[in-house]
Amino acid sequence: MRVSPVADELGRRFAAAGFELHLVGGSVRDALLGRLGDDLDFCTDAHPDDTLRVVTGWAEAIWETGREFGTIGVMRRGLRIEITTFRAESYDGVSRNPLVEYGTNLYDDLSRRDFTINAMAVSLPGHEFTDPFGGVTDLAAKVIRTPDAPERSFGDDPLRMLRAARFAAQLRFAVEPATLAAMNAMAPDLDRITAERVRDEFVKLLSGADPVTGLRLLVDTGLADRFLPELAGLKLEIDEHAQHKDVYEHTLTVVANAVRLERADGWPADFVLRMAALMHDIGKPATKAVTGDGRVSFHHHEVVGARLTRARMKAMKFPKDVTGQVTHLVALHLRFYGYGRGEWTDSAVRRYVADAGELLPRLHKLTRSDCTTRNRRKAAALAADYDALEDRISRIAAEEDLARVRPDLDGNAIMELLGVPPGPIVGRAWKHLKELRLEHGPLDRDAAEAELRRWAAAEGITAD
């Protein structure tokens, strides 16, 4: 394995300079699980300046972006390596970022780590294994537990509560009772953590192998209420007079379905799809209404849901492009329903494809994931309807370039035919021609020019 020679080389260099070096944390955990990747974490008693002297001339690349936290990054033979000075960081109970202090020994460094499964080390180049808190035992038992008392551990860094849920989602592990109780009691402490750090942990959780387990932990402990209160808000009261689907359980099922469909098609974890699945019904609590016959409706919940999704993702500091993609999927997730009644024209299909744009493959999976009915006949009918829609999209796409629906005349042709300069008139004409393209399909050049002249005359624009 190529990790061993590189790690041993690095260990010998540190030893020659009089310093310790240990493979540590997630790297040891993943090695024991048989899933060690190309990212390696080391700790050392060397300070950053000392580390730089040791790796200079050996590393193929060096970066110092984590220097203020005691970390120097290097690249060697395709391995991305981070070397961090023994840590003794903590929070002061008020600030939103850690107070970084250097430690002096391996034991103290390991005792400061989040969980026992991440508090193991292998010395280099001697390969001595250190596990003072029973990490191997917990790894075998698939248990998440803190090395120190969980109250102290979470007091040092409240983000660790969210990390516990994240590791549960990634590894399919269970949180042991004392740690779980501390998460319940200390959930409000998460407010001390910046939105960006919470967001990054949440992305890792939702992208995990079993995000539903992590999401349930967030809701059950009250952690979700600190940054995503809409999730617990999906637990709508159900009474015998106004029956409706359990929106919370339905949502978790939709997320699980999306994960299953990703894997079936060989997709990597797709955060945008999974977040859309999580948020697709977020507008239901605000739009719930009970009709005179006792039925429950959620009219326009996709519109309200899209607005709430945008606001929540903005508060969590997501990039605008990611927020826009998720929000658009939420807004479109109901568009398919009604297709099976035979009301869709080719024009409606074109608009479906055009409105989804590059998100169409994700919209396909989101819509299919949203079918959670236990009625097998209804589920089979919905699946058949969507199969028919996808086949119809493929047929029309074979005849037309649906991926890039554009007017049959471009802006230059519009300006030439109407004799107008660039400006609002060109934009309005372009939009009109695009609507015609969506409604009727491709027009030949003569028909497109005739339609443009008809539009211009109706608008009072004299064409040359």
Q: In the CATH scheme, what is the code of domain 142-227?
A: 1.10.110.30
Asked if 360 and 353 count as a contact pair (C-beta separation under 8 A), the reply is: yes
Q: Is the peptide bond before 177 cis (omega within 30 degrees of 0)?
A: no
Q: How far is CA 453 from CA 238, 406, 422, 423, 458, in A?
A: 58, 18, 17, 17, 9
- Supply the pLDDT for residue 53: 96
Hey, how many other C-beta atoms are within 10 angstroms of the C-beta on 293? 5
The pLDDT of residue 3 is: 65
pLDDT in tens, 56-80: 999 999 999 999 889 999 999 999 9
How many angstroms separate the CA atoms of 420 and 464, rounded?
Answer: 9
What 3-state DSSP class applies to 445? Answer: helix
297 — phi, psi (to 5°)?
Answer: -125, 155
Tell me which of 7-11, 92-96, 416-420 is least confident. 92-96
Residues 6+ apart with CB under 8 A from 386: 336, 339, 364, 367, 368
In the numeric block, the tokens 């974890």 are attached to 269
Residue pair 273/283 in contact by the 8 Å Cβ criterion: no
Q: Quick check: 243 pLDDT over 70? A: no
pLDDT band (50, 70, 90) for residue 239: very low
**Whole-angstrom distance, CA of residue 257 vs CA of residue 3:** 37
Report the pLDDT averaged over residues 422-435. Answer: 78
Phi/psi for 24 (5° steps) reads -150, 165
Instruction: Supply angle C-alpha 129, 131, 137, rounded to 5.
Output: 115
Q: Comparing 381 with 330, which gets the higher pLDDT?
A: 330
Residue 258, SS3? helix
Instruction: Supply the pLDDT for residue 421.
Output: 80
pLDDT, tens digit (0-9, with 9 covering 90-100), for 192-225: 999 999 999 999 999 999 999 999 999 999 999 9
Tokens of 367: 């819509």
Report whether pLDDT(83) > 80: yes
Cα–Cα distance, 240 to 290 (Å, whole number): 12
Q: What percent of the chain has pLDDT over 90?
A: 61
**pLDDT of res. 350:** 80
- Annotated domain spans of the chain: 1-135, 142-227, 253-404, 411-458
| 158 close to 193: Cβ distance less than 8 angstroms | yes
Residue 236 in tokens: 């709508």
- The answer to whether residue 43 scores a pLDDT higher than 90 is yes
Q: SS3 breakdown of the chain: % helix, strand, coil, rounded to 5?
A: 60, 10, 35
Q: Quickly state the pLDDT bin for 24 (edges 50, 70, 90).
A: very high
Of the CATH numbers 3.20.20.70, 3.30.460.10, 3.90.1580.10, 3.30.70.2190, which one belongs to the domain with range 1-135?
A: 3.30.460.10
Mean pLDDT (whole number) for 438-445? 70
Q: What is the pLDDT of residues 262-296, one digit of tens each?
A: 999 999 999 999 999 999 999 998 888 877 676 77
Residue 341: per-residue pLDDT: 64
What is the rounded average pLDDT of the residues 447-461? 76
Q: What is the pLDDT of residues 123-167, one digit of tens each?
A: 999 999 999 999 999 999 999 999 999 999 999 899 999 999 999
The pLDDT of residue 154: 95
User: For residue 92, what pLDDT is reported?
Assistant: 60
Instruction: Assign 240 a pLDDT band (cuts: 50, 70, 90).
Output: very low
Q: Determine the pLDDT at residue 464.
A: 52
Please report which confidence band the pLDDT of residue 340 belongs to, taking 50, 70 and 90 as the band edges: low
- Mean pLDDT for the chain overall: 87
Please report which residue ranges of 56-176 form alpha helices under DSSP H. 106-111, 135-141, 150-156, 159-171
Give me the helices (H) in 222-345, please: 224-227, 229-232, 247-264, 271-279, 284-287, 301-315, 320-332
- From 420, 463, 455, select the one nearest 436 (Cα to Cα): 455
pLDDT band at 399 (very low <50, low <70, confident <90, very high): low
> Does the pLDDT value for residue 49 go beyond 50?
yes
Lowest-pLDDT range, 49-63, 131-145, 313-327, 432-446? 432-446
**What pLDDT does 394 receive?**
84
Compute CA 427 distance to the chain's CA centroid, rounded to the nearest angstrom.
Answer: 36
First-last CA distance in the chain: 74
Which of 127, 115, 200, 203 lies closest to 160, judged by CA?
Answer: 115
Taking 90 as the threshold, does the pLDDT of residue 101 lie above it?
Answer: no
pLDDT of 181 > 70? The answer is: yes
Burial 328-364 (b: 16+ CB within 10 A, else e): bbbbbbbbbeebeeeebebeebbbbbbbbeebbebbb
pLDDT band at 169 (very low <50, low <70, confident <90, very high): very high
Q: Per-residue b/e over 11-30, b at no fewer than 16 CB within 10 Å?
A: bebbbeeebbbbbbbbbbbb
